A and B are shown apart, each in its own frame.
Chain A
Amino acid sequence: MRRDGATILWLCLLLILVLVSLVYTFVETVHAAQGFQQQYRAVRMHDVSAIQPWMTVHAISHFYRVPEDYLYKSLQVQNSTSLRHDTLYDIAHRKKQPVARVIDTVQDAIEVYRKTHPLPATPTPKPKPTPRSKALPRLPTPGGTNT
């Protein structure tokens, strides 16, 4: 009987531990979701803070609409086919610089390029009329005639 009680006590402690882990993993999942949302939004807004060490110059050029040659020039690296697959991490390694510094250089270069070549403004989408709004009777406008 006493042994049973001890076993149940241990099981309850284990259950509490698992529940704490559950809360922790839930919080981690929420944080990961928020991080994903922020990064996704930053990339869509062409925010330079979204540049990551895994990105190649080709990828940055694609996401931020900046010419590759310009980026290579600003990084002081010669544009060649062998460098096309180099990530910022590889470039930093080759230049014996910290990755953060290389990323800063790229961010500055993009900001400078934007000043002279601003991105085309995206048109705001017009709200589509819903079937319910179509069904509503038209109200008489002040001073106007309702036919």
Chain B
Amino acid sequence: MNMFFISALQHYGYPALWLIVFVAAAGAPVSGSLLLFAAGAFAALGDLDIFILFPVALSAAVLGDNLGYFIGRRVGVSLLARLERQKRIRWITPESLAQGREYFRRRAGWAVFITRFLIVALGGPINILAGLEEYAYQKFLFWDISGQTISVLMSLGLGFAFAASWEEAASLFGAFSSFVLVSLVAIGLFVFVIRRLRSSVPSSRGKSSKVSAVDTTEEIEANVIDQQITEAQAALDGNKEVVLSPFQSTMGHEVVQMVHLNGNADANDAQLSPFEDTIDDPDPLIHL
């Protein structure tokens, strides 16, 4: 595959380079940077001109990235909306999608910039993602041109400098790029695991504090009930009507009857709540 592209570069020169770099930048599984290394080496041998190579390669890379961005913007948005509606994939919830989108929006510029020259493998997906997220086009273009300038300069420069060993230089660059990518993933995952572990410790502490909170609630309830009993006794002393109703505590079980007071009623007219069958006792508070 690579030999085919290198032969095309040798035979057709700049148009071949432009086309291959454009297709690679648009997201096709073709190594555009490898070809730039080769182009730099051929420029060192006098087959191509390095000063023509730079604008040709830069324009192809930027336009290819833009194509990826607009594909993401046109197709991706509707596709994502469909995904959200249909919920075909179990683990892609609307919450996780929203979280991912927010995370990307905060770091999109940096992601676009770094994937142009350091983590080249993610360049195509990031273009589509930026379009899908409707990331501001001016910002995208700025970061894209900045990153691609570095990428093209670096690839052509290294190819030019190590003409006979450009293939090994490209391979070293690719291996280093993979190492950086895996390192970033490892750091991110490590931080995530640490945060997760830390958050799990306070949650267990939170559970114990919840128990103590329930205890406190029970105490408060008991105090309120004591107060109501006192008030009820005071009302009975003043010949007021007393209505009893069940009171459910926060623990979910019936603790005590709540006392409702209707003012200016005779103690004998005391009404009972539904669970009370009769009042045999003249003093309803005894039932408490």
Contacts and interface: CB of A to CB of B under 8 A. Distances in A.
Interface string A41-65: 0010000001011111011001100
A7 B179 contact: no
Nearest to B199: A4
B283 to A, nearest CB: 50
B17 interface: no
Interface in A73-95: 85-87, 89-90
Given A28-B178, A32-B168, A40-B168, A15 B162 contact: no
A132 B206 CA distance: 68
B171 A35 contact: yes
B165 interface: yes
22 contacts: A8-B197, A19-B186, A21-B186, A25-B175, A25-B179, A26-B179, A28-B179, A29-B178, A29-B179, A32-B174, A36-B162, A36-B165, A39-B167, A39-B168, A40-B162, A40-B164, A54-B3, A56-B10, A58-B47, A59-B45, A63-B164, A85-B10
B135 to A, nearest CB: 27
A36 B10 contact: no
Contacts of B178: 25, 28-29
Interface in B183-221: 183, 185-186, 189-190, 192-193, 196-197, 200, 203-204
B234 interface: no
Contacts of A36: 162, 165, 168-169, 171-172
Contacts of B200: 4, 8
A33 interface: yes
Residues of A contacting B: mostly = helix
Interface string B150-183: 0000000000001111011101101110110111
Nearest to A51: B164
A31 B196 CA distance: 36
Given A39-B165, A87-B3, A11 B10 contact: no
Contact of B172 (A15, A33, A86): A33
Nearest to A23: B182
B6 interface: yes
B11 interface: yes
A53 to B, nearest CB: 6
Contacts of A4: 200, 203
B7 interface: yes
A112 interface: no
A85 B3 CA distance: 13
Given A8-B197, A14-B189, A89 B7 contact: yes
A88 to B, nearest CB: 10
Contacts of A8: 193, 196-197, 200
Given A7-B196, A36-B168, A54 B162 contact: no
A18 interface: yes
Contacts of A56: 10, 45, 47
